[in-house]
Structure 1
Amino acid sequence: MTGDPALPIALDRLIHERLRLAIVSALAVHDSLTFTDLRTLLDTSDGNVSVHARKLEDAGYVTCTKSFDGRVPRTEYRLTGKGRQALERYLSHMEALIKRVGGA
């Protein structure tokens, strides 16, 4: 990242939140994850996954597909292109911030 070192680095507040960043990061390395997969992977509650995944879905960062596996509901999440770009920008900003703070 180039530019004036005195300018603040703008972080994406939507994915800066710990659990949303974890959801986006998990989806970046998997084609898709079910609701149960995310809950287990992130070691959190149903409510946390639901609320944070909905915010990401509303922003267009993830898609949510609901279906049935037999009679059992199945919710599956995928990272969108917009979500992947947001994550890449976020990681670039964090790297630039770390370099700035570290004096590198």
Structure 2
Amino acid sequence: MKMPKPRKGTPSKSAANTEAIPLGTSIDSLVSIKVGDVTITTERAHESVRRQNVARGQQALRRAADGIRTVGVTISETPGIPLYRVDPQDPDRVIRQTGNKVESGQFLNGVFRAKP
């Protein structure tokens, strides 16, 4: 069965989970968002709802700010599992540290090879 092409400003009925926009809704109160081949048309949010959502987003950003500002990552050591880092004296080499044993070398074909 061939589906008719939807009119501009009306929701597509081809998607499984669609709800019709109420009759009498002004075309000026609709907003469409297109992502790839999918277009979502809905009523534009009231200004008070938009302001409330912006305030909530700003609050969430403030809560997350400390984690966002923290530089780097913390890696905890697991016994017997080596940690790797770039050699600051030679960026072509890698330092491997397993417990108290520290080696410098390179990865060749995916395998670490220690070099003096």
Same fold (TM over 0.5): no
Which structure has more strand as a fraction of its residues? 2
Which has more radius of gyration? 2
TM-score (normalizing by structure 1):
0.28
* Structure with greater helix share of residues: 1
